[in-house]
Amino acid sequence: MNVELCLKKYSGDFFRFMFGYNTIDEKKSYSDGKEFLEKYSIDSIAFQNECKPIMKQVFKMDEKQKYDMETMPIDALFYPDYCFFTYFSSHIFSKEDFLLIKDICRKYNEKFIYIIEREGCEDYPEAAFKLKIPVDISWESLNEGGCITDVIFHFMQNDYYVFGDSGCWGKWCDYDNAIIDYETFAYKWETEPIIDYKKYFGISTEELLSIKGIPTSLKKSFIICEDTV
């Protein structure tokens, strides 16, 4: 990814529009964002050689493609040897589910989490986020990236592929559609941390029946946990 182009997009006028004038230290936000990207972004060579082969183990689509819930079945996202479930979500991580993801990573003996933005979300594809985050990072440190971490972890926009370095799990984060914000999580085999993750995001049958306008294929994949009622 192009760090300078990404910073240019998400600082300045964009950040003032989102947060207003005089509400933050704009220079510090830019500086923190730059430091974050310099530490955790990956360039095109590392993406092609290191990241993309893992991504292709999990997802049928690549960083240029978008899953369309209205025209495609949900299993078009993942390969047949993965189980999957869907849930409501408006941004990649909250503190609670990030801790659950870290537990999943540790169970699979993973060291890194990749966050890959779908390039079609950007006017300039080279500005799309491509990040390699260490599993042992704290939630607080993860959020020290100024304007950049605000965009990635707190704004409801863009689509992302998120997965660990083992290729044993991944999630499609679809926030760039006109119907709902949701994620679909895929995994090779069920572990105790994944069961906890399902319970955290599970909804009741009543809630599922109340959802309108979602294609049947996607609706059937929502995780049900009746004890959430």
Provide the pLDDT for residue 229: 41
Report which residue type is found at 40.
Answer: Y
Where residue 23 falls among pLDDT bands split at 50, 70, 90?
low
Domain assignments of the chain as residue spans, ordered by start:
3-228
So what's the pLDDT on residue 164? 98
Looking at the predicted structure, is the pLDDT value of residue 227 above 80?
Answer: no
| 82-86, 120-124, 177-181: least confident range | 120-124
Sign of dihedral through CA atoms 101, 107, 108, 111? positive
Could you report the per-residue pLDDT of 8-22, keeping only the tens digit for each?
888 777 766 666 655
Q: Return the closest-CA partner of residue 163 out of 117, 118, 129, 115.
A: 115
pLDDT of 119-165, one tens digit each?
A: 875 577 888 999 999 999 999 999 999 889 988 988 777 899 999 99
Q: What pLDDT is recorded for position 228?
A: 46
Distance (Å, whole) CA 37 – CA 208? 38
pTM of the model: 0.92
